[in-house]
């Protein structure tokens, strides 16, 4: 069976994520302890106890989601489970780079903490937001963004799955696009609970800072291909991955194309590793028949080992 490991991004976090798994697997507790040491503060306590408002701050959310996903990945590695290819949604792509051996644990966490800091700062200086538009085709939404963008920044940010397009930009422009989209037949416009206009030109300042940070980090060649958010193509060369990650923060996330690319390469089963089931939900809209598993708690762990005929702990 050809497996792909996929990792969620910001928005999947919740206070207490990982507690069940940590209670059963020492390797998870070890990862959290190591993360506290690397980051210089107790991110594990923030994950376990909150407060939720602090966990929702981008500077904390991004490393929190990444370290939790890495901890769950190590559970599967202890079972001897590996994948043929990997990808992650937005900040989840950094977890994929760790999975593929491109970034060390220390560099992965330090970079995601810095990424969150830069994005949070950019959001304060250039206020923005994001909305999901349901039931309108991409060309129509792009046309609306082009019109609304004359008075402020607004772009298509995420192509997640059929019928769901996420836009990002200045607050008034995003609102305007949503209103016009409804007039033109969109079924629904859902404002997203985000602190800034991620994956838009309003993140260019953060992208510049992150590029400098990424130049300080060692990018190894990947042991397995990583499907890039930016290109939706598998990449293994470390320097090529570095260049793509510099662009990723302000570029469109090509998630649907990424999934279809992996399927075209023979991937049979996808495993979402990390908090929540956002990627599993997207998969149902991309290909309802595609075998999809996830790991976020004991129940999903038990289901996973049963489906893959692994030996339980």
pLDDT at 4: 98
Alpha carbons 80 and 249: distance in angstroms, whole number: 33
pLDDT (mean) for 237-245 = 98
Residue with tokens 């507790």: 29
- Whether residue 222 is predicted with pLDDT greater than 70 in this model: the reply is yes
pLDDT at 229: 98
Q: Which domains does the chain have, with CATH numbers?
A: 3-123+201-307 (3.40.366.10), 127-191 (3.30.70.250)
Helix segments in 57-195, DSSP class H: 58-78, 92-99, 105-125, 138-148, 171-183
Alpha carbons 121 and 16: distance in angstroms, whole number: 26
∠ at Cα 220 (219, 226), nearest 5°?
Answer: 90
Bridge-based pairing state of the strands 269-273 and 154-161: unpaired
pLDDT at 313: 60
Q: How confident is the model at residue 264 (pLDDT cuts 50, 70, 90)?
A: very high
pLDDT at 154: 96
**Which residues, including other chains, have CB under 8 Å from residue 246's CB and lie 6 or more apart?**
207, 210, 211, 214
The answer to whether the CB of 291 falls within 8 A of the CB of 280 is no
- Whether residue 35 is predicted with pLDDT greater than 90 in this model: the reply is yes
Is the bond into 190 cis (omega within 30 degrees of 0)?
Answer: no
Helix segments in the chain, DSSP class H: 19-24, 26-39, 43-49, 52-55, 58-78, 92-99, 105-125, 138-148, 171-183, 204-215, 238-248, 255-264, 278-286, 298-307
pLDDT at 1: 81
- Whether residue 217 is predicted with pLDDT greater than 80 in this model: the reply is yes
- Per-residue pLDDT of 111-150, as tens digits, reads 999 999 999 999 999 999 999 999 999 999 999 999 888 8
Alpha carbons 21 and 39: distance in angstroms, whole number: 22
Give the active site residues: 90, 199
pLDDT at 232: 98
Residue with tokens 């005929």: 309
pLDDT (mean) for 99-117 = 98
Percent of the chain with pLDDT over 90: 94
- Whether residue 75 is predicted with pLDDT greater than 90 in this model: the reply is yes
Which of the residue ranges 63-67, 148-152, 183-187, 202-206 would you say has the lowest mean pLDDT?
148-152
Which of the residue ranges 25-34, 142-151, 269-278 would you say has the lowest mean pLDDT?
142-151
pLDDT (mean) for 173-200 = 94
Percent of the chain with pLDDT over 70: 99
Q: Which two tokens stand for residue 137?
A: 């085709």
Alpha carbons 187 and 181: distance in angstroms, whole number: 9
Tell me the pLDDT of the chain averaged across its residues: 96
Q: How confident is the model at residue 193 (pLDDT cuts 50, 70, 90)?
A: confident
- Whether residue 102 is predicted with pLDDT greater than 70 in this model: the reply is yes
pLDDT at 149: 82
- Whether residue 267 is predicted with pLDDT greater than 80 in this model: the reply is yes
């Amino acid at each position: 069976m050809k497996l792909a490991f996929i990792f969620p991004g910001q928005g999947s976090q919740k206070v207490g994520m990982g507690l069940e798994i940590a209670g059963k697997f020492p390797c998870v507790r070890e990862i959290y302890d190591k993360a506290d040491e690397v980051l210089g503060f107790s991110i594990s306590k923030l994950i376990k106890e909150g407060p939720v408002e602090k966990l929702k701050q981008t500077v904390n959310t991004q490393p929190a989601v990444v370290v939790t996903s890495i901890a769950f990945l190590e559970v599967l590695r202890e079972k001897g489970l590996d994948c043929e290819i990997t990808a992650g949604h937005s900040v989840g792509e950094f977890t994929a780079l760790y999975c593929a051996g491109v970034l060390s644990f220390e560099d992965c966490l330090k970079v995601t903490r810095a990424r969150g800091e830069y994005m949070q700062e950019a959001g304060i200086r250039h206020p923005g937001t994001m909305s999901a538009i349901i039931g309108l085709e991409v060309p129509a939404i792009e046309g609306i963004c082009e019109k609304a963008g004359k008075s402020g920044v607004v772009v298509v940010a995420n192509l997640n799955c059929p019928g769901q397009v996420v836009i990002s930009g200045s607050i008034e422009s995003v609102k305007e696009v949503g209103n016009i989209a409804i007039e033109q037949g969109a079924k629904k416009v859902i404002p997203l609970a985000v602190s800034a206009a991620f994956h838009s030109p309003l993140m260019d300042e953060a992208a510049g800072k992150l590029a400098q940070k990424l130049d300080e980090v060692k990018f190894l060649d990947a042991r397995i291909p990583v499907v890039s958010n930016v290109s939706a193509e598998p990449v293994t060369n470390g320097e090529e991955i570095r260049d793509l990650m510099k662009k990723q923060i302000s570029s469109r996330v090509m998630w649907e194309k990424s999934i279809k690319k992996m399927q075209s390469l023979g991937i049979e089963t996808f495993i979402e590793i990390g908090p929540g089931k956002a990627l599993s939900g997207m998969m149902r809209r991309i290909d309802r028949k595609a075998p999809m598993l996830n790991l976020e708690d004991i129940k999903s762990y038990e289901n996973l080992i049963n489906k893959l005929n692994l030996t339980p702990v």
